[in-house]
Amino acid sequence: MRSKISIRWPWVFASLVMCAFIWGNSLVPGMQSGEASHAVLDLVHGALQMVGLPYEWMTNFVIRKIGHFTEYALLGVCVSQALDGLGTCDRRAMLASAAVLVLVPSLDETIQLFVSGRAGMVSDVLLDCMGAAFGVAMRCLARRLGKRGSARS
């Protein structure tokens, strides 16, 4: 028996909101994008200093890459939840999720090719895909652990 993809529309909406957020950030010119990430860097440096941890290693580059990974991990959760409403993490739902989660960062980096001071990078597509895969994996793991815990009750 073939499994069907079970779509959950609220999660489709959440996925679209995440895509709009991601692509909206890609439309920000390079100078403004750099200023925003430097502001985040200053906050992180302050927080690390406050708790007595070394902060010099945290650079603008690291902040930007953590941002890529994190936003795509969240998108991975949203998309996999949208296309796997039954929480089975079966092959068809995961393949459909993978297709979306490769297309979105590819379009994201393509958008950046047309924005002043930005550059689309294959390495960012790969990082984004790793973030998305991490989000999907964490969601599936949480679902499995949740089912195991409720079966014991």
Least confident of 4-8, 20-24, 31-35, 62-66: 4-8
Query: Above 80 in pLDDT, residue 31?
Result: yes
| Collapsed DSSP state (helix, strand, coil) of residue 61 | helix
Q: What mean pLDDT value characterizes the chain?
A: 93
Distance, in Å, from the CA atom of 5 to the CA atom of 106, rounded to the nearest integer, reads: 24
Query: Above 80 in pLDDT, residue 153?
Result: no
Q: What is the pLDDT of residues 84-122, one digit of tens each?
A: 988 888 899 999 999 999 999 999 999 999 999 999 999
| Collapsed DSSP state (helix, strand, coil) of residue 6 | strand
Q: How many CB atoms lie within 10 A of CB 82?
A: 24
126 contacts: CB under 8 Å, gap ≥ 6: none
Distance, in Å, from the CA atom of 147 to the CA atom of 144, rounded to the nearest integer, reads: 5
Q: Which two tokens stand for residue 38?
A: 């430097």
